[in-house]
Structure 1
Amino acid sequence: MSSNFIFLKEEFPILANIAETAELNIYSDPITALFKLRQFGEKYVHILFDEHGLELPRESTFHNCLKELEYDGVLPERVKDLLFTIKNKGNDAVHGNKGTSEDAKTILFSAFNIAKWLCETYSIKSIDLSDIKFTPPVNIDTQKELLTLEASYKELEDKFNKLQAERKTEGITEERANEINIRKKKATAKIEMSEAETRELIDAQLQQAE
Protein backbone atom coordinates (compact mmCIF):
# COMPACT_ATOMS: atom_id res chain seq x y z
CA MET A 1 0.00 0.00 0.00
CA SER A 2 1.37 3.40 -0.99
CA SER A 3 1.59 5.82 1.94
CA ASN A 4 0.09 9.31 2.02
CA PHE A 5 3.25 10.49 3.78
CA ILE A 6 5.99 9.62 1.27
CA PHE A 7 6.81 13.34 0.86
CA LEU A 8 8.11 13.39 4.47
CA LYS A 9 10.76 10.72 3.97
CA GLU A 10 13.60 12.87 2.68
CA GLU A 11 13.72 15.55 5.39
CA PHE A 12 11.48 14.20 8.17
CA PRO A 13 11.94 10.41 8.01
CA ILE A 14 10.85 9.68 11.58
CA LEU A 15 7.52 11.42 10.95
CA ALA A 16 7.08 9.41 7.76
CA ASN A 17 7.73 6.17 9.64
CA ILE A 18 5.30 6.94 12.47
CA ALA A 19 2.54 8.20 10.17
CA GLU A 20 2.81 5.19 7.88
CA THR A 21 2.67 2.86 10.90
CA ALA A 22 -0.54 4.61 11.97
CA GLU A 23 -1.89 4.29 8.44
CA LEU A 24 -1.29 0.54 8.38
CA ASN A 25 -3.05 0.06 11.74
CA ILE A 26 -6.22 1.99 10.86
CA TYR A 27 -8.43 -1.08 10.40
CA SER A 28 -6.65 -3.82 12.33
CA ASP A 29 -5.89 -1.76 15.45
CA PRO A 30 -7.32 1.79 15.49
CA ILE A 31 -6.23 2.33 19.11
CA THR A 32 -2.61 1.77 18.09
CA ALA A 33 -3.15 4.01 15.05
CA LEU A 34 -4.35 6.86 17.29
CA PHE A 35 -1.48 6.29 19.72
CA LYS A 36 1.02 6.48 16.83
CA LEU A 37 -0.62 9.67 15.56
CA ARG A 38 -0.21 11.20 19.01
CA GLN A 39 3.46 10.15 18.87
CA PHE A 40 3.63 11.80 15.44
CA GLY A 41 2.38 15.02 17.03
CA GLU A 42 4.94 14.84 19.83
CA LYS A 43 7.86 14.48 17.41
CA TYR A 44 6.32 17.14 15.17
CA VAL A 45 6.33 19.82 17.89
CA HIS A 46 9.92 18.99 18.83
CA ILE A 47 10.86 19.58 15.18
CA LEU A 48 9.17 22.99 15.34
CA PHE A 49 11.19 23.93 18.42
CA ASP A 50 14.31 22.92 16.49
CA GLU A 51 13.33 24.86 13.36
CA HIS A 52 12.91 28.03 15.44
CA GLY A 53 15.91 27.47 17.70
CA LEU A 54 13.69 27.52 20.78
CA GLU A 55 14.38 25.95 24.15
CA LEU A 56 11.95 23.23 25.17
CA PRO A 57 9.80 23.82 28.28
CA ARG A 58 11.21 22.40 31.50
CA GLU A 59 8.40 19.85 31.49
CA SER A 60 8.29 19.11 27.79
CA THR A 61 4.94 17.34 27.62
CA PHE A 62 3.01 17.45 24.36
CA HIS A 63 0.53 19.89 25.94
CA ASN A 64 3.22 22.21 27.34
CA CYS A 65 5.09 22.24 24.03
CA LEU A 66 1.91 23.18 22.18
CA LYS A 67 1.14 26.00 24.60
CA GLU A 68 4.71 27.32 24.31
CA LEU A 69 4.60 27.26 20.50
CA GLU A 70 1.24 29.01 20.62
CA TYR A 71 2.64 31.67 22.99
CA ASP A 72 5.67 32.22 20.73
CA GLY A 73 3.45 32.70 17.68
CA VAL A 74 4.88 29.70 15.83
CA LEU A 75 1.55 27.94 15.24
CA PRO A 76 -1.23 29.38 13.08
CA GLU A 77 -4.65 28.82 14.66
CA ARG A 78 -5.60 26.08 12.21
CA VAL A 79 -2.42 24.06 12.74
CA LYS A 80 -2.62 24.52 16.52
CA ASP A 81 -6.20 23.23 16.55
CA LEU A 82 -5.28 20.19 14.46
CA LEU A 83 -2.42 19.36 16.82
CA PHE A 84 -4.68 19.64 19.87
CA THR A 85 -7.18 17.33 18.16
CA ILE A 86 -4.44 14.78 17.49
CA LYS A 87 -3.33 15.04 21.12
CA ASN A 88 -6.83 14.68 22.57
CA LYS A 89 -7.84 11.72 20.42
CA GLY A 90 -4.50 10.08 21.16
CA ASN A 91 -5.12 10.56 24.88
CA ASP A 92 -8.56 8.97 24.56
CA ALA A 93 -6.94 5.97 22.88
CA VAL A 94 -4.03 5.61 25.30
CA HIS A 95 -5.81 6.30 28.59
CA GLY A 96 -9.39 5.29 27.79
CA ASN A 97 -8.87 2.62 25.13
CA LYS A 98 -11.34 4.59 22.98
CA GLY A 99 -11.17 4.95 19.23
CA THR A 100 -12.63 3.56 16.02
CA SER A 101 -11.27 3.17 12.52
CA GLU A 102 -13.34 6.20 11.52
CA ASP A 103 -11.75 8.23 14.32
CA ALA A 104 -8.30 7.09 13.21
CA LYS A 105 -8.98 8.00 9.56
CA THR A 106 -10.11 11.49 10.58
CA ILE A 107 -7.00 12.05 12.70
CA LEU A 108 -4.79 10.59 9.97
CA PHE A 109 -6.17 13.25 7.62
CA SER A 110 -5.33 15.89 10.26
CA ALA A 111 -1.77 14.56 10.41
CA PHE A 112 -1.59 14.64 6.60
CA ASN A 113 -2.65 18.30 6.56
CA ILE A 114 -0.09 19.43 9.13
CA ALA A 115 2.60 17.28 7.48
CA LYS A 116 2.10 19.16 4.21
CA TRP A 117 2.15 22.44 6.12
CA LEU A 118 5.44 21.49 7.80
CA CYS A 119 7.13 20.64 4.51
CA GLU A 120 5.85 23.69 2.67
CA THR A 121 6.89 25.99 5.53
CA TYR A 122 10.24 24.55 6.65
CA SER A 123 11.63 22.28 3.92
CA ILE A 124 15.12 23.18 2.68
CA LYS A 125 13.60 23.16 -0.78
CA SER A 126 10.74 25.59 -1.27
CA ILE A 127 8.17 23.03 -2.36
CA ASP A 128 4.51 23.13 -3.36
CA LEU A 129 2.54 20.03 -2.35
CA SER A 130 -0.83 21.25 -3.66
CA ASP A 131 -1.10 18.32 -6.07
CA ILE A 132 -0.65 15.72 -3.33
CA LYS A 133 -4.10 14.61 -2.19
CA PHE A 134 -5.09 12.35 0.70
CA THR A 135 -6.14 8.82 -0.22
CA PRO A 136 -8.07 6.90 2.47
CA PRO A 137 -6.16 3.71 3.40
CA VAL A 138 -7.55 0.40 2.16
CA ASN A 139 -8.27 -2.55 4.43
CA ILE A 140 -5.58 -5.09 3.51
CA ASP A 141 -3.10 -7.31 5.34
CA THR A 142 -0.32 -4.96 6.47
CA GLN A 143 1.70 -7.22 8.79
CA LYS A 144 4.78 -7.47 6.57
CA GLU A 145 4.96 -3.71 6.01
CA LEU A 146 4.51 -3.05 9.73
CA LEU A 147 7.43 -5.34 10.57
CA THR A 148 9.64 -3.44 8.12
CA LEU A 149 8.66 -0.08 9.64
CA GLU A 150 9.22 -1.36 13.16
CA ALA A 151 12.68 -2.62 12.23
CA SER A 152 13.73 0.80 10.90
CA TYR A 153 12.12 2.90 13.65
CA LYS A 154 14.80 2.35 16.32
CA GLU A 155 17.56 3.69 14.06
CA LEU A 156 15.44 6.68 13.06
CA GLU A 157 14.63 7.45 16.69
CA ASP A 158 18.29 7.21 17.71
CA LYS A 159 19.24 9.70 14.97
CA PHE A 160 16.36 11.98 15.93
CA ASN A 161 17.31 11.95 19.63
CA LYS A 162 20.96 12.63 18.76
CA LEU A 163 19.98 15.67 16.69
CA GLN A 164 17.70 16.88 19.49
CA ALA A 165 20.57 16.60 21.98
CA GLU A 166 22.79 18.70 19.69
CA ARG A 167 20.14 21.27 18.79
CA LYS A 168 20.82 24.98 19.05
CA THR A 169 18.51 27.20 21.12
CA GLU A 170 19.73 30.67 20.20
CA GLY A 171 16.84 31.43 17.88
CA ILE A 172 17.05 32.01 14.13
CA THR A 173 18.11 34.88 11.89
CA GLU A 174 15.66 37.61 10.95
CA GLU A 175 16.02 36.59 7.30
CA ARG A 176 15.05 32.98 8.08
CA ALA A 177 12.15 34.13 10.29
CA ASN A 178 10.79 36.30 7.48
CA GLU A 179 11.09 33.45 4.99
CA ILE A 180 9.23 31.10 7.36
CA ASN A 181 6.44 33.64 7.90
CA ILE A 182 5.89 34.11 4.17
CA ARG A 183 5.85 30.37 3.49
CA LYS A 184 3.73 29.71 6.59
CA LYS A 185 0.92 31.99 5.42
CA LYS A 186 0.80 30.34 2.00
CA ALA A 187 0.83 26.83 3.48
CA THR A 188 -1.84 27.62 6.08
CA ALA A 189 -4.22 28.98 3.44
CA LYS A 190 -4.09 25.61 1.65
CA ILE A 191 -5.16 23.42 4.59
CA GLU A 192 -8.36 21.54 3.78
CA MET A 193 -10.61 19.99 6.42
CA SER A 194 -13.28 17.32 6.19
CA GLU A 195 -16.64 17.59 7.98
CA ALA A 196 -15.53 14.98 10.53
CA GLU A 197 -12.30 16.87 11.11
CA THR A 198 -14.22 20.11 11.63
CA ARG A 199 -16.36 18.41 14.30
CA GLU A 200 -13.21 17.15 16.02
CA LEU A 201 -11.78 20.68 15.98
CA ILE A 202 -14.89 22.07 17.66
CA ASP A 203 -14.63 19.40 20.35
CA ALA A 204 -10.93 20.19 20.84
CA GLN A 205 -11.65 23.90 21.19
CA LEU A 206 -14.33 23.19 23.79
CA GLN A 207 -11.87 21.05 25.76
CA GLN A 208 -9.26 23.83 25.66
CA ALA A 209 -11.83 26.31 26.98
CA GLU A 210 -12.73 24.15 30.00
Structure 2
Amino acid sequence: MLDHQTDFLQLALQHEVLKFGQFTLKSGRQSPYFFNLGKIASGAAMRRLAQAYARTLKAAGIECDMLFGPAYKGIPLVTAVACALAEWGTDLPFAYNRKEAKDHGEGGTLVGAPPRGRVVIIDDVLTAGTALREAVAMLKKAGAQPVAALIALDRQEKGPSGLSAVQEMERDSGVRVIPIVSVREVLSYLAEGRVDAATLEAIRAYQGQYCI
Protein backbone atom coordinates (compact mmCIF):
# COMPACT_ATOMS: atom_id res chain seq x y z
CA MET A 1 0.00 0.00 0.00
CA LEU A 2 1.28 3.47 -0.86
CA ASP A 3 1.99 6.06 1.83
CA HIS A 4 -0.85 8.37 0.76
CA GLN A 5 -3.31 5.47 0.95
CA THR A 6 -2.22 4.66 4.49
CA ASP A 7 -2.48 8.31 5.49
CA PHE A 8 -5.95 8.51 3.94
CA LEU A 9 -7.16 5.48 5.90
CA GLN A 10 -5.70 6.88 9.12
CA LEU A 11 -7.63 10.08 8.42
CA ALA A 12 -10.81 8.13 7.70
CA LEU A 13 -10.68 6.31 11.02
CA GLN A 14 -9.67 9.39 13.03
CA HIS A 15 -12.64 11.40 11.72
CA GLU A 16 -15.15 8.53 11.61
CA VAL A 17 -15.42 8.73 7.85
CA LEU A 18 -15.29 4.94 8.10
CA LYS A 19 -17.73 3.54 10.67
CA PHE A 20 -18.69 0.02 11.65
CA GLY A 21 -22.02 -1.51 12.65
CA GLN A 22 -25.17 -2.25 10.64
CA PHE A 23 -26.07 0.24 7.91
CA THR A 24 -28.81 0.10 5.27
CA LEU A 25 -27.45 1.27 1.91
CA LYS A 26 -29.43 2.82 -0.94
CA SER A 27 -29.36 -0.61 -2.57
CA GLY A 28 -31.18 -2.05 0.44
CA ARG A 29 -28.17 -4.14 1.43
CA GLN A 30 -27.19 -4.35 5.09
CA SER A 31 -23.55 -3.32 5.23
CA PRO A 32 -21.22 -3.80 8.22
CA TYR A 33 -19.42 -0.58 7.34
CA PHE A 34 -20.35 2.88 6.15
CA PHE A 35 -18.24 5.52 4.44
CA ASN A 36 -19.14 9.21 4.79
CA LEU A 37 -16.58 11.70 3.49
CA GLY A 38 -18.77 14.52 4.81
CA LYS A 39 -17.21 13.89 8.24
CA ILE A 40 -14.10 15.72 7.01
CA ALA A 41 -15.02 19.14 8.36
CA SER A 42 -11.87 20.98 9.43
CA GLY A 43 -9.11 22.78 7.57
CA ALA A 44 -6.35 20.40 8.63
CA ALA A 45 -8.38 17.31 7.78
CA MET A 46 -9.41 18.70 4.39
CA ARG A 47 -5.77 19.51 3.64
CA ARG A 48 -4.76 15.88 4.30
CA LEU A 49 -7.65 14.62 2.22
CA ALA A 50 -6.76 16.91 -0.68
CA GLN A 51 -3.16 15.71 -0.53
CA ALA A 52 -4.36 12.10 -0.79
CA TYR A 53 -6.38 12.96 -3.90
CA ALA A 54 -3.48 14.91 -5.40
CA ARG A 55 -1.01 12.09 -4.77
CA THR A 56 -3.45 9.59 -6.27
CA LEU A 57 -3.62 11.72 -9.41
CA LYS A 58 0.17 11.96 -9.59
CA ALA A 59 0.60 8.20 -9.04
CA ALA A 60 -1.90 7.43 -11.80
CA GLY A 61 0.16 9.43 -14.29
CA ILE A 62 -2.89 11.22 -15.67
CA GLU A 63 -2.14 14.31 -17.73
CA CYS A 64 -4.86 16.94 -17.53
CA ASP A 65 -5.54 20.60 -18.23
CA MET A 66 -8.08 21.31 -15.49
CA LEU A 67 -10.19 19.86 -12.66
CA PHE A 68 -13.96 19.70 -12.21
CA GLY A 69 -16.08 19.15 -9.08
CA PRO A 70 -19.71 18.01 -9.39
CA ALA A 71 -22.15 19.71 -7.00
CA TYR A 72 -22.29 19.48 -4.10
CA LYS A 73 -19.53 17.46 -2.41
CA GLY A 74 -17.25 17.85 -5.39
CA ILE A 75 -17.12 21.63 -4.94
CA PRO A 76 -14.98 21.79 -1.76
CA LEU A 77 -13.02 18.75 -2.92
CA VAL A 78 -11.98 20.21 -6.28
CA THR A 79 -11.03 23.50 -4.61
CA ALA A 80 -8.87 21.78 -2.00
CA VAL A 81 -7.23 19.43 -4.52
CA ALA A 82 -6.37 22.36 -6.80
CA CYS A 83 -4.70 24.05 -3.81
CA ALA A 84 -2.76 20.88 -2.93
CA LEU A 85 -1.47 20.52 -6.48
CA ALA A 86 -0.50 24.21 -6.57
CA GLU A 87 1.62 23.69 -3.44
CA TRP A 88 3.63 21.15 -5.46
CA GLY A 89 4.04 23.45 -8.45
CA THR A 90 1.10 22.32 -10.60
CA ASP A 91 -1.36 25.20 -10.86
CA LEU A 92 -4.50 23.90 -12.59
CA PRO A 93 -7.71 25.83 -13.28
CA PHE A 94 -10.90 24.31 -11.90
CA ALA A 95 -14.65 24.58 -12.28
CA TYR A 96 -17.81 23.22 -10.71
CA ASN A 97 -21.52 23.28 -11.38
CA ARG A 98 -24.65 24.52 -9.67
CA LYS A 99 -27.61 22.18 -9.22
CA GLU A 100 -29.95 24.95 -10.34
CA ALA A 101 -29.26 27.21 -13.30
CA LYS A 102 -28.72 30.87 -12.41
CA ASP A 103 -31.00 33.19 -14.41
CA HIS A 104 -29.27 36.46 -13.49
CA GLY A 105 -25.71 37.82 -13.50
CA GLU A 106 -23.50 35.56 -15.60
CA GLY A 107 -26.25 32.88 -15.63
CA GLY A 108 -25.84 29.19 -16.40
CA THR A 109 -24.82 26.25 -14.22
CA LEU A 110 -21.02 26.26 -14.60
CA VAL A 111 -18.79 28.28 -12.27
CA GLY A 112 -15.04 28.87 -12.47
CA ALA A 113 -12.68 28.30 -15.36
CA PRO A 114 -14.27 27.57 -18.76
CA PRO A 115 -14.14 23.81 -19.44
CA ARG A 116 -11.35 23.01 -21.87
CA GLY A 117 -8.91 20.28 -22.78
CA ARG A 118 -8.47 17.16 -20.69
CA VAL A 119 -10.48 17.27 -17.47
CA VAL A 120 -10.21 15.21 -14.29
CA ILE A 121 -13.40 15.04 -12.22
CA ILE A 122 -13.03 15.06 -8.42
CA ASP A 123 -15.82 13.45 -6.34
CA ASP A 124 -16.33 11.55 -3.09
CA VAL A 125 -17.77 8.10 -3.81
CA LEU A 126 -19.44 6.39 -6.75
CA THR A 127 -22.79 4.82 -5.86
CA ALA A 128 -25.19 4.92 -8.80
CA GLY A 129 -22.81 7.15 -10.76
CA THR A 130 -25.52 9.69 -11.57
CA ALA A 131 -23.49 12.78 -10.62
CA LEU A 132 -20.44 11.60 -12.53
CA ARG A 133 -22.43 10.77 -15.65
CA GLU A 134 -24.02 14.21 -15.54
CA ALA A 135 -20.58 15.79 -15.12
CA VAL A 136 -19.20 13.87 -18.11
CA ALA A 137 -22.13 14.94 -20.30
CA MET A 138 -21.85 18.56 -19.13
CA LEU A 139 -18.13 18.73 -19.85
CA LYS A 140 -18.46 17.14 -23.28
CA LYS A 141 -21.26 19.54 -24.16
CA ALA A 142 -18.96 22.42 -23.20
CA GLY A 143 -16.27 21.08 -25.55
CA ALA A 144 -13.95 19.53 -22.96
CA GLN A 145 -12.67 15.96 -22.75
CA PRO A 146 -13.23 14.14 -19.43
CA VAL A 147 -10.34 11.70 -19.06
CA ALA A 148 -10.61 10.44 -15.49
CA ALA A 149 -12.59 10.67 -12.27
CA LEU A 150 -10.92 10.54 -8.86
CA ILE A 151 -13.00 9.13 -6.00
CA ALA A 152 -12.15 8.33 -2.40
CA LEU A 153 -13.36 4.72 -2.16
CA ASP A 154 -14.32 1.94 -4.53
CA ARG A 155 -16.64 -0.45 -2.64
CA GLN A 156 -16.20 -2.95 -5.51
CA GLU A 157 -19.76 -4.23 -5.13
CA LYS A 158 -21.68 -5.98 -7.89
CA GLY A 159 -24.80 -4.30 -9.22
CA PRO A 160 -27.71 -5.90 -11.11
CA SER A 161 -25.54 -6.15 -14.24
CA GLY A 162 -22.87 -8.15 -12.44
CA LEU A 163 -20.45 -5.23 -12.75
CA SER A 164 -19.48 -2.78 -10.05
CA ALA A 165 -20.55 0.87 -10.21
CA VAL A 166 -16.99 1.79 -11.21
CA GLN A 167 -16.90 -0.81 -13.99
CA GLU A 168 -20.28 0.34 -15.30
CA MET A 169 -19.15 3.97 -15.25
CA GLU A 170 -15.97 3.16 -17.17
CA ARG A 171 -17.87 1.03 -19.69
CA ASP A 172 -20.60 3.59 -20.31
CA SER A 173 -18.52 6.78 -20.35
CA GLY A 174 -15.04 5.71 -21.41
CA VAL A 175 -13.73 7.69 -18.43
CA ARG A 176 -11.20 6.00 -16.16
CA VAL A 177 -12.27 5.92 -12.49
CA ILE A 178 -9.41 6.02 -9.99
CA PRO A 179 -10.05 5.51 -6.25
CA ILE A 180 -7.68 6.55 -3.50
CA VAL A 181 -8.39 3.11 -2.02
CA SER A 182 -10.57 0.10 -2.78
CA VAL A 183 -12.33 -1.96 -0.14
CA ARG A 184 -9.64 -4.63 -0.51
CA GLU A 185 -7.05 -2.10 0.67
CA VAL A 186 -9.37 -1.06 3.49
CA LEU A 187 -9.56 -4.69 4.61
CA SER A 188 -5.79 -5.08 4.43
CA TYR A 189 -5.35 -1.97 6.58
CA LEU A 190 -7.98 -2.98 9.13
CA ALA A 191 -6.50 -6.48 9.43
CA GLU A 192 -3.41 -4.98 11.08
CA GLY A 193 -5.18 -4.95 14.46
CA ARG A 194 -7.23 -1.80 13.85
CA VAL A 195 -10.65 -3.37 14.42
CA ASP A 196 -11.86 -6.38 16.38
CA ALA A 197 -11.99 -9.81 14.77
CA ALA A 198 -15.81 -9.88 14.59
CA THR A 199 -15.95 -6.60 12.63
CA LEU A 200 -13.25 -7.77 10.25
CA GLU A 201 -15.03 -11.08 9.67
CA ALA A 202 -18.35 -9.31 9.04
CA ILE A 203 -16.77 -7.10 6.36
CA ARG A 204 -15.07 -10.10 4.77
CA ALA A 205 -18.34 -12.04 4.69
CA TYR A 206 -20.16 -9.06 3.15
CA GLN A 207 -17.49 -8.67 0.49
CA GLY A 208 -17.54 -12.38 -0.19
CA GLN A 209 -21.25 -12.11 -0.94
CA TYR A 210 -21.31 -8.86 -2.92
CA CYS A 211 -17.80 -8.04 -4.14
CA ILE A 212 -16.87 -8.35 -7.82
TM over 0.5: no
Higher helix share: 1
**Which one scores higher on RCO, CA 8 angstroms, separation ≥ 6?**
1
TM-score, with normalisation over the residues of structure 1?
0.25
**Higher radius of gyration, 1 or 2:** 2
